[in-house]
Amino acid sequence: MLELITAGESHGAGILCVLSGFPAGFEIDLEAVCAELTRRQNCAGRSSRKDLEKNAVEVLSGMRQGRTIGSPITIFIRNADSTIDKRKPNPVPRPGHAELPGMIRYGTKDATDIAERASARETAGRVAGGAICSQLLAELGVHVFGCTIAIGSEWAEAFEIPESAIALEELRALRNSNPYYAVQATGQWDRILSGAEKEGDTVGGVFGVISVGAPPGLGRPVQWTGNLDGRIARSLMSIQAVKAVEFGAGAAGIELTGSEYHGNIEMNAEGEPAHTTRTHGGILGGMTDGTPITVRCAVKPIPTTGRDMTSVNLETGEAVKRKTERHDICAVPAASVIGEHVLAFELCRATLERFGASSVDELRERIASVD
């Protein structure tokens, strides 16, 4: 089974990603992996730390002469800001952060112990691993995409869900043309971010992820643990600051009748039976149905702000002001990159579970035999 784990602290030596269960014989484009890490970092809403980190990847295991060999792939992303042991103990947790429950659970009075691992810097490892999965999926004709949909309460103009890889790549070109990673960015977003920065505050928003080309039948419906939408939702919800996930029409679907929501099944242009609606987001009964997978994720405002917020000193029990520190203004554009690669990992895992293969050549043969 494909597995991805990460290790490392935000201001430690670096972030590790271990991707195990990946098939042998695949040539990884490491420059493309680095490009995705850079895209995660150099976007709208980021703090000055984006100018420090270089995002170079070091392969520690699992590859030889540029190709995977079937053993766990270990990627190391070195931190330029590696000051963890120089940081003074901090007994004051930030409101809205993982620090308070983490300090209680692990019996520490130092918020830094919790913050270092709870930081979204951890997702650099998931982007690296997901980018490798994305490359394999693309070779199999499955493509993933993420973009910003809303910043604060200001939504971008809706766009048509792509039905083909060509249409999706056209959207990718539009997305990559602006720092918000939106298909159609609105000028109001600049105003929202500049206003929040001036006030020392932060804003949330919504991003979406899409996949086209996934074959029908990915996912294991015979047991709830194998439902693909459940797995995707869990992985997306694990991204720091994500507070809601919805597929297809999502919550808006409750306003439709059953016949409106589900539509019909008809023969498509390729002569295959397919649903006529996209309200279910490409997954039914825990399995892909061959139509585009569409998911939206709501991202809360980042809890670290430029304002002095009231908290409690856990050593003294006194109410204190938590001092301001370096912080992002908005995590949504960066989260869209992370979400894209989280989706890639889950689809890659489901593909390997469905077709089972130790090498890329074997994987291609098994997929071809089903087609």
| Separation in Å, CA 347 to CA 74, 105, 351 | 20, 33, 6
CA atoms within 13 Å, Cβ hemisphere of 138: 17
- pLDDT on residue 83: 87
In CATH, the architecture of 3-370 is 4-Layer Sandwich (3.60)
- pLDDT on residue 54: 75
Note the helical H segments in the chain: 30-41, 99-106, 111-118, 123-139, 165-175, 188-199, 228-237, 258-262, 332-355, 360-370
Closest CA to 144 of 297, 364, 346: 346
Distance CA(17)–CA(29), nearest Å, equals: 16
- pLDDT on residue 49: 61
- pLDDT on residue 304: 86
For residues 341 and 36, the answer to whether their CB atoms sit within 8 Å is yes
Distance CA(366)–CA(148), nearest Å, equals: 36
Closest CA to 216 of 253, 268, 145, 169: 268
What is the domain partition of the chain in residue ranges? 3-370
Start-to-end C-alpha separation, the chain: 23
For residues 295 and 245, the answer to whether their CB atoms sit within 8 Å is yes
Closest CA to 127 of 6, 231, 36, 23: 36
For residues 249 and 279, the answer to whether their CB atoms sit within 8 Å is yes
pLDDT, averaged per 10 consecutive residues of the chain (371 residues), comes to: 96 96 98 96 80 84 96 96 88 94 97 94 97 98 97 94 93 95 93 93 97 95 93 98 96 92 88 88 96 97 87 95 79 98 98 94 92 66
For residues 109 and 119, the answer to whether their CB atoms sit within 8 Å is no
Question: How many residues are there in the chain?
Answer: 371
